[in-house]
Chains A and B, each alone.
Chain A
């Protein structure tokens, strides 16, 4: 499906962002997600924003969604303001969902409220379906920091995650799984790492699973499923599998990155916005090993044999990112 990617006017985005009582960390990638999510909504003629809609729209544009905590952010209020603001724009054409809406009204003639809710769900599903067909952006979204308290830019979050990744326990755990798990294809299946390292506190699920059965039964979801299958089919063409790395309150969570872009995340029992990073699992070297190597080559009585032994045990020093 062709999709018009003209960005929505910046003032729409400003309205959304201004609606947050405590301004969230607006990274550039979050900004992109919001812009694209809102653009999808605009093109789908959706103005009845609420948290589930924003969640879905942003999820459809992002690898990991920023979780909008309704306790902190009155989504409905800003949605109303946004709707009021843009109500004068592009409303000349009749809604493409009008026929479905009328059908729902007839079906639910004794319960107009149910019809309205069903209509809104229909809109959401349609918007999600279209948004889902857009290519995934390796995005980072961040609204409520747990692990990354005090960060205010992509760069800071990247730096902190990198430093955490370079710590010995994380490297050791990846290394332990990598060793001896070479597939016939020659590539180490990183899902084995993810299976090994996922813990009970992380929740990563398809956001559509959280929608109502009514929405899930819509035919539009066939299109979504097709899009998901497409994303999975694309994966083998990517040179190397990658891991999702999600900062959590007790450290990083791991999962295989499957190039689908609809995930929600939960850290322990609390919803949390998070920064996503991906890594191939190759070329990770701990500072402990770096220091050990430096100590070794500077040792007075070091022999070629010692160095060879060291490098054989830690092939990442020679192979770097080539190993996978």
Chain B
């Protein structure tokens, strides 16, 4: 994850990324999408994991599904 995050420290890479995807990226926030919500004992466990790694956010597939449902009804 650190390697991925540092990838954008290089100006040339940032330029290539911008050309391909159309937006700037620098020091991106890192989000790991993994597992189901039921895989965690509780929310405290998730917070503990996120707290151990700075700039890391954990998302489960259920989180993505929930957000997608909200977006699907939002203009």
Contacts and interface: CB of A to CB of B under 8 A. Distances in A.
Contacts of A316: 68, 71
A187 interface: yes
A317 interface: yes
A293 interface: yes
B22 interface: yes
A316 B71 CA distance: 9
A29 B36 CA distance: 43
B73 interface: yes
B33 A321 contact: no
A317 B22 contact: no
Interface stretch (B2-10, B42-50, B59-67): B59-67
Contact of A182 (B22, B31, B62, B65): B22
A165 interface: yes
Nearest to A163: B73
A285 B68 contact: yes
A318 B65 contact: no
A311 interface: yes
Given A188-B22, A311-B33, A286 B65 contact: no
Contacts of B65: 290, 293-294, 297
B1 interface: no
B24 A290 contact: no
Interface residues of B, number: 21
A283 B62 CA distance: 17
A116 B52 CA distance: 79
A186 B24 contact: yes
B22 A297 contact: no
B73 A166 contact: yes
A186 B22 contact: yes
B68 A182 contact: no
Contact of A245 (B21, B74, B75): B75
A316 B70 CA distance: 12
B67 A279 contact: no
A62 to B, nearest CB: 18
A270 interface: no
Majority SS at the chain A contact face: helix
A277 interface: yes
A162 B71 contact: no
A158 B64 CA distance: 24
B72 A285 contact: yes
Interface in A284-321: 284-287, 289-290, 293-294, 297, 307, 311, 316-318, 320-321
A98 interface: no
A245 B64 CA distance: 27
B75 A161 contact: yes
A289 B33 CA distance: 18
Contacts of A155: none
B23 interface: yes
Contact of A290 (B22, B62, B68, B74): B68
Interface of B: 18-19, 21-24, 31, 33, 36, 61-62, 64-65, 67-69, 71-75
